[in-house]
């Protein structure tokens, strides 16, 4: 059972069609598909909502519409009401990251709601009385009010991560073993000498720097093969360039004559 299927976004008295469409798109991005509107603005531009929803019009079209918060969340075991205000009864808020695991846990077996107030002033105390948890999104005190669609996106994002459905891409190639790294460093050592990047006196110090650089992250076998190829090509190019240098040719002729 996908727990996100049991989670609904509840918008209380939403005003703007653009926000509504953007919310649908944000929900679909994060796998949340259930949308409930409580007394939306009767003059809301649903044409604008469709435009902003883009490929998430299915969420817009399958929305539910009710006349009270109680009706919107009545069958839910856990209800998180969002607030940006401070006060005695709003002092135990949690962030979306803190609360998302609890919501996902409940959504394994029960209905769950996240409730958002209208764009102009948020939820009233009466509308928040059905909440089991209060949720606030951290923001700078210089401008703490978030756009409604952005607030929904942040909450849906944390819920999606908490659902553990996202699998980050894995490195396809195995990490290079020591013996392969040492072969690579030997090639680079000789290449640095061939291209005259440094001389015999400084090469050991220079190689310690390169070892530190290449030791900072994951170095795969494919990475090492590319770097060894670079060293061979650079050494070949340096030799070819030297062969075209008359002075170098004369020096080599003298060495051969000895």
Within a domain: residue 167?
no
* Domain end position, chosen among 105, 129, 162: 162
Quick one: 129 and 187 in the same domain? no
How many Cα atoms within 13 Å fall on the side-chain side of residue 53?
24
Within a domain: residue 170?
no
Could you tell me the CATH number of the domain that includes residue 72?
A: 3.40.1280.10
pLDDT, residue 248, reads 52
Within a domain: residue 228?
yes
- Among 11-20, 54-63, 168-177, 241-250, the range scoring the smallest mean pLDDT is 241-250
Is the Cα dihedral 50, 54, 56, 58 positive or negative? positive
Quick one: 103 and 130 in the same domain? yes
pLDDT, residue 252, reads 45
Quick one: 152 and 214 in the same domain? no
Q: Decide if pLDDT at 77 tops 60.
A: yes
Quick one: 135 and 210 in the same domain? no
Stated length of the chain: 258
Q: Mean pLDDT over residues 4-18, rounded?
A: 97
Quick one: 44 and 150 in the same domain? yes
Quick one: 34 and 135 in the same domain? yes
Predicted TM-score (pTM) of the model is 0.77
Could you tell me the CATH number of the domain that includes residue 199?
A: 1.10.8
Between the alpha carbon of residue 167 and those of residues 33, 154, 161, 162, 164, the distances in Å are 20, 19, 10, 12, 8
pLDDT, residue 243, reads 55
* Residue 99 tokens, joined: 């609360």
Quick one: 155 and 211 in the same domain? no
Distance CA 215, CA 219 (A): 8
The structural domain count of the chain equals 2
Residue 245's pLDDT band (boundaries 50, 70, 90)? low
In sequence order, what E strands does 67-225 have?
76-82, 111-116, 133-135
Quick one: 158 and 208 in the same domain? no
Residue 46's pLDDT band (boundaries 50, 70, 90)? very high
Quick one: 34 and 117 in the same domain? yes
Q: Which residue has the higher pLDDT, 78 or 248?
A: 78
Within a domain: residue 68?
yes
Q: What residues make up the domain containing 187?
A: 178-257
Quick one: 200 and 129 in the same domain? no
Mean pLDDT, rounded, of the chain: 90
Within a domain: residue 171?
no
Nearest one of 76, 53, 75, 78 to 63, comparing CA atoms: 53
Within a domain: residue 169?
no
Quick one: 85 and 192 in the same domain? no
Distance CA 53, CA 77 (A): 29
Quick one: 19 and 130 in the same domain? yes
pLDDT, residue 141, reads 85
């Amino acid at each position: 059972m996908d727990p996100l299927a049991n989670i609904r976004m509840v918008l209380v008295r939403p005003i703007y069609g653009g926000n509504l469409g953007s919310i649908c798109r944000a929900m679909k991005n994060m796998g949340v598909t259930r949308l409930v509107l409580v007394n939306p603005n009767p003059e809301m531009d649903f044409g604008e909502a469709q435009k902003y929803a883009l490929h998430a019009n299915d969420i817009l079209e399958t929305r539910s519409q009710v006349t009270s918060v109680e009706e919107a969340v009545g069958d839910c075991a856990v209800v998180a009401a969002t607030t940006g205000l401070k006060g005695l009864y709003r002092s135990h808020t949690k962030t979306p990251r803190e609360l998302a695991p609890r919501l996902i846990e409940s959504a394994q077996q029960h209905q769950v709601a996240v409730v958002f107030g209208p764009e102009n002033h948020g939820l009233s105390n009466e509308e928040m009385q059905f909440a089991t948890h209060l949720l606030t999104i951290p923001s700078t005190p210089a401008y703490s009010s978030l756009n409604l669609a952005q607030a929904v996106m942040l909450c849906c994002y944390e819920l999606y991560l908490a659902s553990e459905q996202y699998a980050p891409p894995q490195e396809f190639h195995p990490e290079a073993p020591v013996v392969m790294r040492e072969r690579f460093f030997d090639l680079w050592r000789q290449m640095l000498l061939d291209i005259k990047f440094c001389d015999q006196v400084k090469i050991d110090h220079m190689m310690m720097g390169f070892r530190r650089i290449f030791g900072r992250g994951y170095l795969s076998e494919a990475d090492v093969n590319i770097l060894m190829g670079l060293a061979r090509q650079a050494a070949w190019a340096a030799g070819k360039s030297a062969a075209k240098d008359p002075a170098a040719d004369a020096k080599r002729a003298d060495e051969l004559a000895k």
